[in-house]
């Protein structure tokens, strides 16, 4: 008898849940989307895309978001379409109980602006993604120029493949070296404040132009680059701070564990 009562109670509970869920679903089907609210999470750092850009995207004629039942809105598809913007790194779209569409955007963060030998210019972000320039916003980042010839079509490429197991690596190794060097400079507060330009010379070696001091740093290739920066910083602290930042015309790091200076 007790077992029968328990079964009966649970039967009523399950039936109630089913009816309640059906009621909630029916009420939700009646909720229409009436507003779109956009937040650019890193708007202080970058300004490649604005809330009005995203709102314009949602008002495209083929989407018909406003006035549609919220249950008919495919938020995952919207997220996918938003990520097709070259400046969008991540997007999250969700619907509130009140019928609002909420959109949260993370922008890509450029660390290098490339000006290649053909005069084309674009950004590379922290993940190695190629970003076109924006007519609205210019990011003040490290610049690379000189003898830069890419083995990909700038207007079509999206990612620089720097995995040595990838067949594209051998063709792109100069760009991979530039990316690795610029990422190190960007992620180091001291060098980020000190270095403003990387020049690729005719030997495909790197020359660094500092913000402070009237010298050029002949860096050489990418090999042992962390040691080269460590030696250069020690020379800055122990040498130039005492002698003066305009004492030398050239500082060479091309040879292992050596800092060779040429006086002005």
| CA–CA gap between residue 98 and residue 154 (Å, rounded) | 44
Q: Is residue 71 part of a domain?
A: yes
Q: For position 211, which CATH number holds?
A: 3.40.50.11690
β-pair partners for 40: 105
Within-domain flag for 26: no
**Is residue 197 domain-shared with residue 236, that is, in the same domain?**
yes
CATH of the domain at 75: 3.10.20
Domain carrying residue 247: 110-263
| Dist. CA 234–CA 95, nearest whole Å | 55
Same domain, yes or no: 248 and 154 = yes
Residue 29 — very low, low, confident or very high, per pLDDT cuts 50/70/90?
A: low
Q: What is the pTM of this model?
A: 0.81
Residues 157, 160, 165, 169: is their CA dihedral positive or negative?
Answer: positive
Rounded Cα–Cα distance for residues 264 and 256 (Å): 23
Is the same domain home to 244 and 123? yes
Regarding whether 48 and 164 lie in a shared domain, the answer is no
The confidence score (pLDDT) of residue 196 equals 97
Do 143 and 120 belong together in one domain?
Answer: yes
Dump pLDDT digits (tens) for 118-128.
999 999 999 99
- At which of 107, 128, 152 does a domain end? 107
Query: Is residue 20 very low, low, confident or very high in pLDDT (cuts 50, 70, 90)?
Result: very low
**Is the model more confident about 163 or about 9?**
163
Residues 177 and 240 grouped into a single domain: yes
User: How many domains, the chain?
Assistant: 2
Measure the CA–CA gap between 84 and 113, rounded to whole angstroms: 21
Mean per-residue pLDDT of the chain: 85
Last-in-domain residue among 72, 107, 142? 107
CB 103 within 8 A of CB 93: yes
Q: 92 with 69, same domain?
A: yes
Site of tokens 């530039």:
178
Cα distance between residue 72 and residue 80, in whole Å: 16
- 80 and 187 in one domain? no
Rounded-to-integer distance, Cα 7 and Cα 228, Å: 76
Residue 23 host element (H or E): helix 2-29
The two structure tokens encoding residue 123: 């950004």
Do strands 35-40 and 110-115 pair parallel, antiparallel, or not at all (unpaired)?
Answer: unpaired
- Could you tell me if 183 and 259 lie in one domain? yes
- Among candidate residues 76, 107, 138, the one where a domain is terminated: 107
For 135-194, how does the pLDDT look when each residue is reduced to its tens digit (9 = 90+)? 889 999 999 999 999 888 888 878 888 876 666 667 778 999 999 999 999 999 999 999
pLDDT value of position 236? 86
Whether the predicted pLDDT of 112 surpasses 90: yes
Highest mean pLDDT out of 28-32, 104-108, 248-252: 104-108
Q: Do 114 and 103 fall into the same domain?
A: no
């Amino acid at each position: 008898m007790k077992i029968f009562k328990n079964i009966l109670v649970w039967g009523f509970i399950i039936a109630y849940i089913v009816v309640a869920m059906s009621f909630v679903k029916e009420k939700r089907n009646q909720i229409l989307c009436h507003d779109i609210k956009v937040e650019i999470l890193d708007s202080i750092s970058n300004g490649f895309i604005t809330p009005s850009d995203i709102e314009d995207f949602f008002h495209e004629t083929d989407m018909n978001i406003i006035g549609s039942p919220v249950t008919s809105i495919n938020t995952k598809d919207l997220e996918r379409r938003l990520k097709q913007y070259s400046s969008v790194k991540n997007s999250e779209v969700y619907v509130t109980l009140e019928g609002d569409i909420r959109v949260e955007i993370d922008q890509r963060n450029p660390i290098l602006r490339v000006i290649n030998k053909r005069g084309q210019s674009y950004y590379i972000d922290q993940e190695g993604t190629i970003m076109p320039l924006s007519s609205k916003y210019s990011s003040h980042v490290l610049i690379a120029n000189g003898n830069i010839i890419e083995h990909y079509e700038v207007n079509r490429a999206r990612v620089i493949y720097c995995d040595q197991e990838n067949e594209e690596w051998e063709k792109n190794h100069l760009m991979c070296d530039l990316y690795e060097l610029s990422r190190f400079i960007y992620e180091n507060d001291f060098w980020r404040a000190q270095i403003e330009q990387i020049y690729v010379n005719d030997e495909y070696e790197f020359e660094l132009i500092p913000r402070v001091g009237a010298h050029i740093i002949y860096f050489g290739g990418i090999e042992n680059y962390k040691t080269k920066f460590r030696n250069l910083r020690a020379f800055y602290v122990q040498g130039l701070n005492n002698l003066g930042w305009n004492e030398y015309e050239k500082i060479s790091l091309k040879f292992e564990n050596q800092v060779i200076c040429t006086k002005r």
